[in-house]
Structure 1
C-alpha cells in the first residue's frame, strides 16, 4: 500500500485487519437509504437562507456548498470477505468575504435557524481575521450561471449494483489468481459519489452528481524453496466512471506482456496475468546499474507526472502557501515570468483539463462555481502557466480562475487542488512496439511502485511493478530492482518520443493528500507510452 492511499484509507475505517482501529469518516448508512435523491428546490431554499444571512451581516460575497458524500468499500482476501462499509456525510459549508478577509463555518444541522447561525459565525470569523489583514482578498470576476446541473456521464450507478455482485467479482478474481498459483491476494473495490450543490451571491445555483470507482488488488507469490516472494498490484486506473468500468467489452485488449485496459477493466483476467508474471519476477535477474533508454507505460508514468509536474505547478506551492505537506516548488514565479524557462524537450506538452471524460478530476464546475475548462501548463517544453483559483488569478494577471478549487467535504474549506494534468500524445504515428524496435539498450516499465521526491519536487526516484530489459530492439526478459533517478528538468528534457493518441490512457490517484488539516482529492493523469534517453538506473533489489 502506498503512502497516499494509506493516508486516505486510514480515515475511512474500512475495517481490514491493518486498519481495524481507525475511525470512520461519516456515519454508517444503509445503501438503500443513501440512494434516495435530495430535492434541488429544498437545497436552493437552504442555500438562500445562508446567503441572505451572510449579506445582512456584512459579507460582500458568500458561497454555500451543500454536500452529500457517499463512500462504499468492499474488501476481500483469498476466499473470504474482510469488510463491507457504507458511509454517508451530509451538511453545509459557508464561506464569506467580509472586510476583505475570508471566514468559514459549517453545520450538519440543516434547519433554517442552524444555517443562519453558521452564516453569522462565518461573517464574524471573517471580521475578526480582518484585524490581522495586510492585503485584502482579490477575487477574479465570475458571472453567475443561474440554476444549472452536471453529472458524471455514467452508464451504471455503482451504488445501485448489489453488494453480492461486487463480492462475487472480487472473489472470482481471487479464485483465478489462487488457481494460477498465487500464495495470497488482497482485493478491494472503492466507490465514491459526491452530490454537491453550490450557490453564491453572484447568482449561481449549481447541482452536481460526481462518481468515481477504483478496483485494486495485490497478489503475492512465494518461492517455497528460497523463501523469496514477489508481488504485483493491479494495473487498473481509478476512473471517473460508473460500474460499467468493471463490465469488460470488446475494448479490452490483451498482449503477451501486459494487459491494456482502455475504457473497461477485466479484473479476473488481470489477476491471472499478474500471477503468471510473478513467476517471471521470481526468476528475474537483477538489473545492471547504468544509463538506459527508458520506455514508460502510462501505468507507471502517470505517477511521475503527478509528482514532478502536477504538484510543482500548483500555484499555492509556488508561492509557499503550501509547504508543510510535501513541500513547495522549484518552479518559482521568476521562471514563469522569464517566458522561456526550459522545462522539457520540444515535444513535451502538458495541459490542465477538468473536462476530460472518465478522468477523476473531471467536473462541470469547481467548488467556487467556476465552469471548468482546459489550458496549457507546459507548451513545447516551456513553462507557460500554473493552476489557480479565484483569489490567486490576479497574481498571474489572469482575468478569470482556471477552476482548480475543491474541498473534500462540506465541513472542509475549499482550496487549490490539482486538475487532471496530462502529457499530450505525440503528433506522429508511433506504437510501443515500434518504440521498442528503435531501442538498442533500454528498460520498459509498467505499474506504480515505490517513489521518492524532494521538497521542491525536483530530485526524484521511481520504480515499477514490472520491468523488462530491451536489447537490440527486442524484449530480452524481466529484470528486478530497477529504479530510475533524475531531476525533473533533466528528466523531461530527455524525453525523445511519445506514442500517438491511439495509445493515450489515464492513470490516477484516488486518494491524494494535501493541506493541514489534510484533505484528499482524486486526480487523473493521461499520457501515451513515452521514451526518455540515457536515464540513470540503480539496483534496489533486496538480498536474501
Structure 2
C-alpha cells in the first residue's frame, strides 16, 4: 500500500477506530445490499432540472448518488476493525449567465433537491459577475433512460463478513507459518450507485463495483533488529468477489519464479511468498549505484505511468488550474503542436474508461458523456490530453473525452485521470527472452515509495523486489534500489515491451486531486518493459 493510501485510511485504525467523515455514516452490513428505486431518483432529478430552468439556468445536471463502502482490517490473529458506511445525497450543477454554480443536499425530497438547484443557480449568477468569459460546453447527446453495471459475477457486499474475516485471518496465519513476524491484511469493497440526469435529455443509472485486498508482511532479524517488508502483489480492480477465486490462468510467473497476478488473486499464495521474500531481503546485498538497464514488471510500472504520464497529460494541470495541488505539467500545449517526442517509437500510451476489470471503467462519466479509449502518445509522439466538456474547445475538440468524475454526491465533478496505460509490444516477446539480452540490469517487481516534482518531470521510484541481471541471467536478490529519471528521457529509453500475453493492470484506490481534495480510483496497464541506461541509487540509511 502506498504511503498516501495509508494516510487516507489512518482514521480507520487509530483514534478509537473512528470513521473518517469522507466515508459517510456507519450502517449495518445488511444495508449494503439495498438500492434506491430508479423511479424515485428520476422524480427527484426532474424536480431539480425544472427548478434550475425556472431559476434561469441554461444547463443543469443532477447526480443522485449512494456510495457504499466496507472495510475489514486485520493484523496477525486479530480483527482490528470492520466498518460499513453509506453516503447518500444529490449534487446539482448548473450554468447560468455563462458561469458554473454547484450545490448539494442530502434532503432527498422534491423540494429539497429543487432548493439545491435554485441555490446552484444563484451561485452561478454571482460567479458570472467576475467571470471573464462564458463557459463553452461541448455537445453531449441525450441518451434517454439507459443503465450500466460493472460486469461482476459475485457481489462482494453480499458475502458474509465472517467469510471475509476467515479469509484474511487465514492469509495472516499462512504468512506467519511461512516465516513472517508481522502481517497486516485488509479488504476494501466499494459500490457506487450513481444516477445522472441532465437538460441534454439523459437519465443514466450506473452500478459500479470495486475491490482491493492489500497486505504488508514483515520479517525481522531478531539478532540485529533489522526488518524488511514486502507488500502484496494484488491490484485493486473493478470486479466483484470473484477476484479472489485464485484462477490459475491469471497467474504470471517471472523467469525466477516470482508469482504475480492479473484479474484473479490467490491471496494466501501471495502471503506465503511475501513472507519468504521479506526474509530473503534481510540478507540480500545492497545495490551498487550506477547505470543499469531496467526490466520493469507491470506491478511496478503502473505507478510510474500514473505519475509521469497520467498526471502531466491531464489538461487542467497543463493549463495551470491544478498548480496548488501536486503541481502543473511540463507537457505544455506547444508540445502537442510540435509532436513532442515523449518516448521511443515503441511507446504507445492511451487513456481508457472502458477496459473490463479496471478501476475507472464506467459506461458514462459524471457529466453524461459516453466513455471510450483514445491515444495520448502514439509511436512516441505526444498527440492528446485528457479533456472534459468545458475544456474541449481549448484543444479544438467537438466532444469531451468522458473523464469527468466526482468522488461523492456532495463534490462537484471535474477533470480526473482516466485509466492510462502502456500498450503491449506488437512483436511476440516473453520476459525471459527480454532478459536474455540484458548484460547489466535490475529486474523490479512491485511498486514502492516515489517522489516527483511539481511539473511531473524529475522523479525517483523504488519497488518491492529487486533482482540483479548479469549477462542475460537473473542472479541474486538485491536491496535498497531506486532509480532516478526525467520523464521524456525515461520513455525514450524504452527499448522493448513484452507482448499482450504479459499485459496486466495495477492501480490506486486513492488518487488525490483538487481543492477541496477529492480521491478517485484508477488503473494503469502494461506489459513488462525494458529501459536502458537508467541511473540507480542506493537508498540504504546508515545508523552510524
TM bracket, shorter-chain basis: over 0.9
> Matched residue of 1:75: which SS?
strand
The corresponding residue for 1:195 is 193
The CA distance in 2 between the partners of 1:21 and 1:483, in whole Å, is: 36
> Matched residue of 1:449: which SS?
coil
* Residue-pair matches, total: 540
Cα offset, 1:268, TM superposition: 0.2
Per-residue CA deviations over 1:133-181 (Å, capped at 9, x if unaligned) read 1010000011100000000000000000000000000001100000111
The CA distance in 1 between the partners of 2:19 and 2:196, in whole Å, is: 31
The CA distance in 2 between the partners of 1:253 and 1:32, in whole Å, is: 34
2:384 pairs with 1:377: no
Normalised TM-score (structure 1)? 0.98
Contact kept, 8 Å, 2:217 with 2:229, in 1: the verdict is yes
2:296 pairs with 1:296: yes
> Matched residue of 1:464: which SS?
coil
The corresponding residue for 1:17 is 14
The corresponding residue for 1:131 is 129
Contact kept, 8 Å, 1:68 with 1:90, in 2: the verdict is yes
> Any residues of structure 2 matched to 1:10-49 within 5 Å, and which?
10=10, 13-14=11-12, 16-17=13-14, 20=17, 23-24=20-21, 25-49=23-47
Cα offset, 1:2, TM superposition: 2.6
Contact kept, 8 Å, 1:251 with 1:263, in 2: the verdict is no
The CA distance in 1 between the partners of 2:252 and 2:268, in whole Å, is: 13
Cα offset, 1:38, TM superposition: 1.4
Cα offset, 1:410, TM superposition: 0.2
> Matched residue of 1:299: which SS?
helix
> Any residues of structure 2 matched to 1:94-109 within 5 Å, and which?
94-109=92-107
Instruction: Choose from 24, 49, 73 the match for 1:51.
Output: 49
Gaps of 5+ in 1: none
2:328 pairs with 1:328: yes
The corresponding residue for 1:459 is 458
Normalised TM-score (structure 2)? 0.98
Cα offset, 1:33, TM superposition: 2.0
> Any residues of structure 2 matched to 1:108-187 within 5 Å, and which?
108-187=106-185
Contact kept, 8 Å, 2:354 with 2:362, in 1: the verdict is yes
The CA distance in 2 between the partners of 1:363 and 1:254, in whole Å, is: 27
Cα offset, 1:116, TM superposition: 1.1
> Matched residue of 1:448: which SS?
coil
The CA distance in 1 between the partners of 2:32 and 2:275, in whole Å, is: 37
> Any residues of structure 2 matched to 1:321-360 within 5 Å, and which?
321-338=321-338, 340-360=339-359
| Stretch moving more, 272-281 or 355-364 | 272-281
> Matched residue of 2:533: which SS?
strand
The corresponding residue for 2:283 is 283
The CA distance in 1 between the partners of 2:15 and 2:331, in whole Å, is: 38
The CA distance in 1 between the partners of 2:351 and 2:251, in whole Å, is: 28
Cα distance change, pair 383–18 in 1 and its aligned pair in 2 (3 A) = farther
The CA distance in 1 between the partners of 2:49 and 2:101, in whole Å, is: 13
2:541 pairs with 1:542: yes
The corresponding residue for 2:361 is 362
The CA distance in 1 between the partners of 2:540 and 2:477, in whole Å, is: 13
> Matched residue of 2:103: which SS?
strand
The CA distance in 1 between the partners of 2:542 and 2:258, in whole Å, is: 27
The CA distance in 1 between the partners of 2:146 and 2:18, in whole Å, is: 42
The CA distance in 1 between the partners of 2:172 and 2:472, in whole Å, is: 36
The CA distance in 1 between the partners of 2:511 and 2:126, in whole Å, is: 32
> Any residues of structure 2 matched to 1:359-508 within 5 Å, and which?
359-508=358-507
Cα offset, 1:217, TM superposition: 0.4
The corresponding residue for 1:91 is 89
The corresponding residue for 2:313 is 313
Contact kept, 8 Å, 2:179 with 2:219, in 1: the verdict is yes
Contact kept, 8 Å, 1:8 with 1:513, in 2: the verdict is no
Contact kept, 8 Å, 2:180 with 2:279, in 1: the verdict is no
Gaps of 5+ in 2: none
The corresponding residue for 1:520 is 519
The corresponding residue for 2:78 is 80
The CA distance in 1 between the partners of 2:283 and 2:175, in whole Å, is: 19
The CA distance in 2 between the partners of 1:387 and 1:519, in whole Å, is: 18
The CA distance in 2 between the partners of 1:370 and 1:154, in whole Å, is: 23
> Matched residue of 1:323: which SS?
coil
Cα distance change, pair 18–267 in 1 and its aligned pair in 2 (3 A) = farther
The CA distance in 1 between the partners of 2:262 and 2:2, in whole Å, is: 24
The CA distance in 1 between the partners of 2:368 and 2:130, in whole Å, is: 28
The corresponding residue for 2:202 is 204
The CA distance in 1 between the partners of 2:495 and 2:150, in whole Å, is: 36
> Any residues of structure 2 matched to 1:235-250 within 5 Å, and which?
235-250=233-248
Cα offset, 1:248, TM superposition: 1.3
2:262 pairs with 1:265: no
Contact kept, 8 Å, 1:287 with 1:481, in 2: the verdict is yes
RMSD between superposed Cα atoms in Å: 1.1
The CA distance in 2 between the partners of 1:260 and 1:410, in whole Å, is: 36
